[in-house]
Amino acid sequence: MFTASHNPARYNGIKLCRAGAVAIGQETGLAEISRRAQADLDVPGPLAGSEAAPAALEQLNLLDEYARYLRSLVDLNKIRPLRVVVDAANGMGGYTVPAVLGGAVLDELPLTIVPMYFELDGSFPNHEANPLEPANLVDLQAAVVRAGADIGLAFDGDADRCFVVDAEGDPVSPSAITALIATRELARQPGATIIHNLITSRAVPEIITEHGGRPVRTRVGHSLIKAEMARTGALFGGEHSAHYYFHDFWRADTGMLAAMHVLAALGEQDGSLRELTAQFDRYADSGELNSTVVSPSASLQAVRAAFATRTQTTDELDGLTIDLGDGSWLNIRPSNTEPLLRLNVEARTPAAMAAIRDEALAVIRGSQLPAPSA
């Protein structure tokens, strides 16, 4: 698949997978593919194998089959009427939403879709196709309030992520969405395993356990989560970045199927989305905060030392997670591609979260300053 996902227009790339949508990561083949590709590029002249006869080309339009399959997984025919604003960000959601939710292919659903930026345009003329950035949600938030909608949905460029906005225009935490979908899936298959990465709220494993499921905590990253889903036979998995993975979708992440679950949950009862998701929102979180650093390892150790006297436990599953007790924790982990440290903090109250967040950021950024001269 040629895709830039949520990245700016100047980026593109090739997403690779094995048969059955099995992910390929650096440790499972991607590094070797890169090495071979670079070897070809380093040799002047035609690329290896370029003189072979071209393969036959076959064109397939899978949109109808895609829509029918998703509709078979979540029944939206019997929900109450909902007004839904959808910001496709000029990405693939503008192609798939009309087919799956809008009645362009199948029978119409009790949904009134208010479209935003459905025109396919890889230059992303309205805003970047990355709903993780708050600035890219502003148009949707305003449109939801203006339209008197029940819910807003924001997709990234390839629509494998979906952010949700309530009727008041406020974003709903991806952790709350993970917990909501987990309860629906556990109702369908009691006792199932549910994956959550280590940045999701602690409410997620609590709620999974309360509903009879088995929570499994993983590192951040789609190839890692897909591999863990295969290993454990997990039914569903969710990430803080609004990636949602489904066993019934070849363990792949799909924003559309996640959106359908949220629409079904909302439409099967009479309350608002805010009322529905309040039960899944138990802690205050910082969101992911990035700091440019000279030495990620030095900053990480500085944070470890700063919180040492208050630390209950630590683990290094992905970066460094420090449990401070009473529901408070922080995680710092280096970026794989940039000189960045990513910080996530959670606590029982906004004030407690803010205090830990500000202290950690001061340590991270202060540890990179030159020592004062004598």
- Active-site residue set: 5
Strand, helix or coil at 21?
A: helix
Distance CA 244, CA 260 (A): 12
Residue 196, beta-bridge partner list: 217, 238
Distance CA 12, CA 71 (A): 30
Non-local CB neighbours of 198 within 8 Å, separated by 6+ positions = 217, 218, 219, 220, 317, 318, 321, 331
Question: What is the DSSP secondary-structure string of 236-303?
Answer: EEE-TTSBEEEGGGTT-B-HHHHHHHHHHHHHTSSS-HHHHHGGG--SEE---EEEE-S-HHHHHHHH
Burial zone of 30 (CB within 10 Å; 0-12 exposed, 13-18 middle, 19+ buried): middle
Which helix (H) or strand (E) segment holds residue 49: the answer is none
Contact indicator for 179, 207 with CB cutoff of 8 Å: yes
Give the pairing of strands 340-347 and 328-334. antiparallel
**Orientation of helix 63-73 relative to helix 255-267, angle to 10°:** 40
Exposure of 198 in the CB half-sphere (CA atoms within 13 A) = 22
Distances, alpha carbon 324 to alpha carbons 65, 103, 148, 228, 348, in Å? 49, 50, 42, 27, 11
Q: Quick count: other Cβ atoms within 10 Å of Cβ 278? A: 12
